Amino acid sequence: MIVNGSQQQNIDIADRAFQYGDGCFTTMAFRNGHLELFEAHIERLKWACRRLFIEFDKWSKLKDCILDSIKSSNEIVVKVMITRGSGGRGYHPEGAVNPRFIITHHPLPTHYSDWQRKGISVTTSPIELALQPLLAGIKHLNRLEQVLIKQALAKTPFDDAIVCDTRQQVVESSMGNLFWYNKDVWYTADLSGAGVEGVMRNLVLDVMQQIGQEVLIVKQGIHTLFSAQEIFVCNALMKLVPITSVFDHMIQKRVSYPIKHCTQLQQHVHQAIKLKAIKV
């Protein structure tokens, strides 16, 4: 673990990340000697810090530490957290004037390449996301909803779960952002009330614009997925993964999907990732 540039095994228990989940994070992939979408991840952290009013200013040091930390590594996940630091008692952050950054490395899941080729089977989650526009989009350190979603998913035979908000509108999956295709148009969820604005989601939107593919950001219920022609989920680690079937646990209904358009889009997305990767 690297904390503010130094290798260490311990961190102050008074850090507000532990006390209140007061901070943000991102996870990036280091594959084949290349750090993928590095600048996009840094920009996402900067955006989150602005939204949370965390006055972190050691961006050059953070970037250097990330790059230095992976020079002797193989394929790994690089997780970067920024916390407000230690200070204050109670919710008010008065006195927390020295934000921290934390870098950790983790194994890169090996099954993602199979998922990209074959697709996955998913269900709908009984857990709904609360609506909170002030936090919507941010990958903050308060992830209890996602913990509950994963616990519920673990009791099923499915690879992933589609999650709605408390208005029963589609938001995302337990792992990433959703896109669905119908009649020559791709759709993805409006994240103004809940969900995470993923780095890969933004790249996919850029790629679709570049290739002239129409895509709409919408607020729609779960029923829209059952009339879709294709669906995929994406994040920065597993990239673009087709969904081959969705099972609705409420009405006991299963719908299957081909992966033709998903496969075509994968090629464009993988090429865009290569162009934006940094060789280390």
Residues with active-site annotation:
27, 139, 172
Backbone angles phi, psi at 48, to 5 degrees: -65, -40
- Output the DSSP codes for 38-94: HHHHHHHHHHHHHHHT-----HHHHHHHHHHHTTT--SEEEEEEEE--B--SSS--T
DSSP class of 140: B
Half-sphere exposure (Cβ direction) of 4: Cα atoms closer than 13 Å: 11
Using alpha carbons, select from 8, 4, 22 the residue that is nearest to residue 86.
Answer: 22
Enumerate the β-bridge partners of residue 6. Answer: 3
78, 1 Cβ separation under 8 angstroms: no
Cα 162 from chain centre: 14
Q: Tell me the Cα Rg of the chain.
A: 19
**Whole-angstrom distance, CA of residue 87 vs CA of residue 15:** 7
**Whole-angstrom distance, CA of residue 277 vs CA of residue 141:** 26
Enumerate the β-bridge partners of residue 162. Answer: 124, 173
Sole residue written with tokens 């408390």: 166
**Whole-angstrom distance, CA of residue 259 vs CA of residue 262:** 5
